[in-house]
Amino acid sequence: MVLILIIVAVVIFCVAPGKMTAEAKKMAKAFQGLNCAHRGLHTENQQIPENSLPSFEAARKAGYGVELDVQLSKDGQVVVFHDDDLKRACGVDKLVNSLNWEELSTLPLFGTQECMPLLVTALDVLGDAPVIVELKPAGANNAKLCTEVLKIMRTYGKRWCIESFDPRIVGWFRKNAPDVLRGQLSAPPAKFDTLSKGKAFLLGNVLLNFISRPHFLAYNTAPPTLIVKLCKAMKPMNVAWTVRPGHDIAKHEKENDCVIFEYYMPTPLYKQRLNLPPV
């Protein structure tokens, strides 16, 4: 019995979310009941490409928040792009961080006339739309990426937050910018099929929250594990990703403070429509 209690206590310590600062609470208000366009309001056929300036402009005009992805170019510029490599989006078999910004800026996205933007350029287009900035794992360059993103986003006001799958990135903000609303991205362990089973188990059960102590949990639309349910019971802010046509949209809106969506046009502020209080 004592051993079981110790194990339970350790699990609770590991998965517990962090306590929001007053500033983080202010930032969270911008996302309460908000639908955020995944990688901007892009089209499934990529005629309006994901993470492009037209996708961000379309989302802003429709009244949505926006989720976007950032990483570093070889010369240290913060670019908006999802994949580690350029093959899917640009047809180039190279890593994003192997090319300088000057080279990246000329590569067409999905055969269109659009190219990947810098984060600062994307923010100019987004105006004051709420923005979820996902920082892609950068290994040895994590701290540099975090530092550069924080410097840029500090100029954007309070309608933004950060998230990452990498607890070390979220933990960097916990240590260096505790006022910033921060989130831990996760999904069931089976979704982490490129990782070892051990790492997938830890990440898929948010057992590294003791590093990041996130203010919100951004969890995949798949059913949460028992350990993730324990984390949710401790009342972090909850965000669902990525809700698409065919999903139980009403359920995700009801159970989450914020929804990241794609390929449909929901009401921007869904809690007002459903007459639901904040979760």
In this structure, the chain runs to a length of 279
pLDDT of the residue at 229: 98
Within-domain flag for 222: yes
Q: Evaluate whether 109 touches 89 at the Cβ level (below 8 Å).
A: yes
- For residue 251, the domain's CATH number is 3.20.20.190
Place of tokens 């590093």: 211
- Summary mean pLDDT of the chain: 96
pLDDT of the residue at 273: 62
Q: Give the rounded percent of residues in the chain with a pLDDT score beyond 90.
A: 94
Within-domain flag for 110: yes
- pLDDT tens for 60-88 read 999 999 999 999 999 999 999 999 999 99
pLDDT exceeds cutoff 90 at 272: no
Q: Give the rounded percent of residues in the chain with a pLDDT score beyond 70.
A: 97
Within-domain flag for 6: no
Distance CA 257, CA 254 (A): 8
Distance CA 167, CA 183 (A): 9
Residue of 4 and 98 predicted with greater confidence:
98
Residue closest to 27 by CA, chosen among 172, 130, 171, 167 = 130
Within-domain flag for 11: no
Within-domain flag for 195: yes
Within-domain flag for 193: yes
Within-domain flag for 227: yes
Buried b (16+ CB within 10 A) or exposed e, 130-148: bbbbbbbebeeebeebbeb
**159: amino acid identity, one letter:** R
In degrees, rounded to 5, the angle at the alpha carbon of residue 262 between the alpha carbons of residues 273 and 110 is 155
3-class SS of residue 46: coil
What is the extent of the structural domain holding 50? Answer: 26-274
- pLDDT tens for 192-232 read 999 999 999 999 999 999 999 999 999 999 999 999 999 99
Distance CA 111, CA 119 (A): 21
- CB count in 10 Å sphere of residue 150: 17
- pLDDT tens for 96-118 read 999 999 999 999 999 999 999 99
SS3 content of the chain, % helix, strand, coil (to 5): 40, 20, 40
Within-domain flag for 17: no
pLDDT of the residue at 157: 87
Which pLDDT band holds residue 279 (cuts at 50, 70, 90)?
Answer: very low
Domain count, the chain: 1
